[in-house]
Chains A and B, each alone.
Chain A
């Protein structure tokens, strides 16, 4: 700022005094007079400034709201990213529920506690042990088919090897029982490492692509009829007396979070209808698709796959409705019995209570005990 050569004169002091007097007088004005003066100024010469101030504050609010909106949108995006995983888990749990209802007894539901890469790539830890009835060499299954076999058992946890483990072997057959062989992990490099081989198939027997392979029940370790995989192609080997087929596994290794361990007694009774009744082709093909991309063309979907899936969904929905009706009926009867008891009508209360007694039903779906005749 440029300096201004000036000295204080009488005029300056007079103006200063007047201004100070005006300021002090403004301070001492009554409220009504102050408000009247301020209001008149606001409505006239200061109106544009007030409008500017208002617009600036609105702009600031808009900027702040936009930041909040961006935060909300980001949160929603993050949540949306988790939706496919939740849907997948929901579908998987529904399938497990369906499997439990079909097995009815003789299994222990388990969570896969440690996945691949934590200890061994093809070994998992299960959340159930001998206390729940799990035994060594118990089959581990999922809604889609065979997962592996229990290797060691502790009271509360157990260890299982997956079908991809080099030591895994299972006697298997074509779903129509025409051809038998031994299923083992395919010893290739990724992604073929997560495929299966069916070895020892007689030369005279050819298995067409897309054929479902299930456990044969031979040897007694695995009960007959658990889906293992689908034939992709025949492998060329040096063996002249047997064929080897490449299989797409029924259970994807990426879907291992909830499994079921079959009890020995349940295996002896047989589980063949469990997977056959629900159109296991659907489950096998649906789950097998992401297992090994590029390893071969996926099998063509069965014509009845959509119908089977719809049937499964309908049966689950019907079960929910039946449970809700039973609960409603039980609550209503309990209310009637309580009311009768309050009135002193013990006969009515007793008769109603008889209706509330549980009927003799098969054990619950998640029970590990066999049905006692």
Chain B
């Protein structure tokens, strides 16, 4: 990765993490956008899958430390999402807003699925409704916000050779 690209990615990553703890509480939506997932995906598609997994683990530990959910659930989920996003982006798809939308949508849904299973404390806990109803809605919101954020941050994220 070129230094300028790395700097742009780091800047976008920090902005998205800050948005998670500023804009999201300000919105107060129950199914608000997940800026941490956006940060993981944005960083993951620019690094190798192994590094993406490490980034996902660290972001997940941050989320687990601040939230009230079971410690480690987010770490596990973000690890898988980061690794998969990096591998999928590098192997299959080209650079496109539609692809980004699908990455955010699928990433959030996969994250919710892993998180729900990992954070499940008992077999009686409901899992189908959150996974099939609420998770897609949240994934859609995240994907929309993610595409909008990428459109805003595109000058920063675009490699120097492309601009």
A contact residues vs B (CB 8 Å cutoff): 1-9, 11-16, 19-20, 22-29, 34, 37-38, 41-42, 46, 49-50, 52-53, 55-57, 59-60
Measured in the bound complex, the distance between the Cα atoms of B23 and A53 in whole Å is 9
The answer to whether residues A56 and B49 also contact, given A3-B89, A19-B54, A38-B65 and a CB cut-off of 8 A, is no
Q: Which residues of A contact B90 (CB under 8 A)?
A: 3-7
The answer to whether residues A46 and B62 also contact, given A3-B94, A20-B79, A23-B75 and a CB cut-off of 8 A, is yes
Say whether A53 contacts B71, CB under 8 Å: no
Q: How many A-B residue pairs have CB under 8 A?
A: 140
Say whether A16 contacts B150, CB under 8 Å: no
Q: Which residues of B contact A37 (CB under 8 A)?
A: 65, 71
Say whether B86 contacts A27, CB under 8 Å: no
Say whether B66 contacts A49, CB under 8 Å: yes
Say whether B162 contacts A12, CB under 8 Å: no
A sample of 6 cross-chain residue pairs with beta-carbon separation below 8 angstroms, ordered by A number, consists of A2-B46, A7-B91, A15-B49, A20-B53, A27-B118, A55-B22
Measured in the bound complex, the distance between the Cα atoms of B45 and A3 in whole Å is 7
Say whether B64 contacts A38, CB under 8 Å: yes
Measured in the bound complex, the distance between the Cα atoms of B92 and A11 in whole Å is 20
Say whether B46 contacts A52, CB under 8 Å: no
Measured in the bound complex, the distance between the Cα atoms of B73 and A55 in whole Å is 26
Query: In the complex, what's the smallest C-beta–C-beta distance from A33 to chain B, in angstroms?
Result: 9
Q: Which residues of B contact A9 (CB under 8 A)?
A: 48, 50
Query: In the complex, what's the smallest C-beta–C-beta distance from A94 to chain B, in angstroms?
Result: 52
Measured in the bound complex, the distance between the Cα atoms of B62 and A65 in whole Å is 31
The answer to whether residues A19 and B17 also contact, given A3-B90, A12-B50, A42-B65 and a CB cut-off of 8 A, is no
Query: In the complex, what's the smallest C-beta–C-beta distance from A170 to chain B, in angstroms?
Result: 70
Per-residue A-contact encoding for B45-70, CB less than 8 Å = 1, 0 else: 11111110110110011101110001
Say whether B22 contacts A52, CB under 8 Å: yes
Q: Which residues of A contact B87 (CB under 8 A)?
A: 6, 8
Q: Which residues of A contact B105 (CB under 8 A)?
A: none
Q: Is B124 an interface residue (CB 8 A)?
A: no
Measured in the bound complex, the distance between the Cα atoms of B83 and A34 in whole Å is 25
Q: Is B76 an interface residue (CB 8 A)?
A: yes
Q: Which residues of A contact B158 (CB under 8 A)?
A: 2
Q: Which residues of B contact A6 (CB under 8 A)?
A: 48-49, 86-87, 90-91
Say whether A26 contacts B49, CB under 8 Å: no
Say whether B45 contacts A34, CB under 8 Å: no
Say whether A1 contacts B54, CB under 8 Å: no
